[in-house]
């Protein structure tokens, strides 16, 4: 009797796991989780601060579009403190890069609020931000992340890969 009950419980567990796994597989693309990464980071010292320009590739692997609610740039300094930069608008980023020609041209459009990234779409964008830190501290950062929030509340982050 005990062996029969164990066999029935095992079979029931296997069926429940199969149903749960199938449900997860069917809904795999219904939530937003952006992929991609930071391609290039450019730093420019200012009088009492520093500016960071990040070029990135964003891949929306979901079956639903992403509509950007907010974009934030977060820097982790060498002491482990997280600091949020003041994100710069498209027009200001263009003027900034035109003025500081040593940084190179503006390669990509700025990732903007209300921008739509379609299902399965890959886009190259940039984000520029000002940090109230000296350039030397920005260059010795531990980590840099771009925090992208969807209008429905989903949050994704693209992080800079540490130097080898």
Confidence of residue 22 (pLDDT cuts 50, 70, 90): low
pLDDT at 29: 46
Tokens representing 88? 């710069």
Q: pTM of the predicted model, to two decimals?
A: 0.77
H or E element, residue 24: helix 2-26
Instruction: Look at residues 155, 7, 148, 160 and name the one whose alpha carbon lies nearest to residue 70.
Output: 148
pLDDT in tens, 115-159: 999 999 999 999 999 999 999 999 999 999 999 999 988 899 999
pLDDT in tens, 41-87: 999 999 889 999 999 999 999 889 999 999 999 999 999 999 999 99
């Amino acid at each position: 009797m005990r062996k029969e009950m164990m066999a029935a419980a095992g079979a029931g567990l296997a069926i429940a796991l199969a149903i749960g796994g199938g449900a997860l597989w069917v809904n795999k693309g219904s939530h937003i989780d952006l992929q991609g990464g930071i391609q290039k980071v450019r730093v420019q010292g200012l009088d009492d601060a520093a500016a960071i320009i990040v070029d990135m590739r964003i891949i929306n692997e979901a079956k639903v579009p992403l509509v950007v609610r907010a974009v934030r740039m977060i820097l982790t300094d060498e002491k482990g403190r997280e600091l949020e930069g003041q994100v710069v608008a498209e027009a200001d980023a263009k003027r900034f890069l035109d003025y500081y020609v040593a940084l190179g041209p503006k390669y990509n459009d700025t990732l903007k609020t209300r921008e739509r990234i379609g299902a399965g779409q890959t886009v190259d964008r940039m984000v520029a931000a000002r940090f109230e830190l000296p350039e030397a501290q920005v260059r010795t950062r531990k980590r840099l992340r771009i925090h992208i929030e969807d209008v429905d509340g989903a949050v994704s982050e693209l992080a800079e890969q540490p130097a080898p």
